[in-house]
Amino acid sequence: MAVSLGSDIAAALPGLRAEAESRMTDSVQVGRFEDGVDETTGDPTWVLVTARYVGKGRVRWGSREVTNADAPSMPITVQEPYLSVPFGSPLLRDNDEVLVVGSDDPILVGRRFRVQGFPVAGQVTAYRYPLEELG
């Protein structure tokens, strides 16, 4: 029986997907949100009103390149965040909003993002969506 790269990759993908999912230690909510108010504290909140995905994910940054903007004395840092969700998760849509509700890294909790496009699909270990961080 002939062995091919395609069949080797197809055989390895379930294990690789499980490994990718094991690194997803953030809890995210994705969909449409509205502003609200915490009844106890009076603090502003962001409330999920239409859920597209709620579950595990991984928010990270793809690059931290320093580039020159308009002049050599004005370097800027370009950060490109993205969200990984498990293979087989529902398709997230451009402009869906993302709230990190839990994480092993406390600096991520409460951060908000907007999906900025579709993920690469096919023989992938996870769906990775480009994000824009919201203020």
Kindly report the CATH number assigned to the domain that includes residue 121. Answer: 2.40.10
pLDDT in tens, 75-121: 666 678 999 999 999 999 999 999 999 999 999 999 999 999 999 88
Query: What pLDDT score does 61 carry?
Result: 92
Is 72 a residue whose pLDDT tops 90? no
Is 63 a residue whose pLDDT tops 70? no
Residue for token digits 């990759």?
A: 9
Q: Residue ranges of the alpha helices (H) in the chain?
A: 5-22
Domain hosting residue 50, numbered range: 5-134
3, exposed or middle or buried, with CB in 10 Å at 0-12, 13-18, 19+? Answer: exposed
Cα gap 44→37, rounded to integer Å:
5
Count of structural domains within the chain: 1
pLDDT in tens, 20-35: 999 999 999 999 999 9
